Amino acid sequence: MNLSLFDDDDYAAIGPAPLVPGTTASTLLRGFALPAVTQLLQGLDAIVQAAPLRHMATPGGLRMSVAMSNCGQLGWVTDARGYRYVRQDPASSEPWPAMPPGFLQLAQDAAQAAGYPGFLPDACLVNRYLPGARMALHQDKDECDFTAPIVSVSLGLPATFLFGGNARSDKAVRIALVHGDVVVWGGADRLRFHGVAPLKDGEHALLGSQRINLTFRKAL
């Protein structure tokens, strides 16, 4: 994956801020992941070696433009059988790689900073975006418990995060995310539609022409 390990001083961490006006249930933590970048990239290398990134297909047969893998007790998959969490990587029939301690600590710290103490994720989705890749508006609703938040970490190229309402037709707010940013949403915002606009061309000093997104969830 060409994951070079260098310090990144492009952005400084700032305090929690509402992701969108009028709600306290979703939070933007600018630069929150920067102190953990080296640990994250080391853990990421080990994960994709054990469970390589792959382009999954939707139940309707469409190939996702985002390449995916997972770590933790459970991994999210999609195929002709539908969207679901499984304990084993379908490509190898082996358990998903364990969630690195640095991943878990960052997710818990971010959730705490956003007002969600006690977060204990059992799944981390690893998404790789290359230029042109996108994620259509969707809800994270394959989990059993919606009381836990979603914690989303951005690494690499900048991206435009789309944060909509509780209906797909609701207008989505466009939020610029850069390397090291963390977004946390839960509570009344837990089932809001969200997505990522097509990734623009670029070159990041650490990750080259790609964006990596780590999404932490409590699936069970």
Task: Report the pLDDT averaged over residues 136-148.
Answer: 97
* Bridge partners for 156 per DSSP: 211
The highest-level CATH class for domain 17-217 is: mainly beta
The rounded distance, in Å, linking the Cα atoms of 211 and 29 is 18
pLDDT of residue 89: 98
Does the pLDDT at position 4 exceed 70? no
pLDDT of residue 63: 97
Contact predicate 70/51, CB 8 Å: yes
Q: CB under 8 Å to 22, separation ≥6 — which residues?
A: none
Q: Which of 150, 146, 172 is nearest to 161 (CA)?
A: 172
Delimit the domains of the chain by residue range: 17-217
Give the global pTM: 0.94
Task: Report the pLDDT averaged over residues 94-98.
Answer: 98
Written in H, E and C, the secondary structure of 35-93 is HHHHHHHHHHHHHHHHCCCECCECCCCCECCCEEEEEECEEEEEECCEEEEECECCCCC
Confidence category of residue 11, pLDDT binned at 50, 70, 90: low
pLDDT of residue 14: 77
Identity of the amino acid at 51 = A
Contact predicate 204/177, CB 8 Å: no
**pLDDT tens-digit readout, 174-207:** 999 999 999 999 999 999 999 999 999 999 999 9
Confidence category of residue 15, pLDDT binned at 50, 70, 90: confident
**pLDDT tens-digit readout, 102-129:** 999 999 999 999 999 999 999 999 999 9
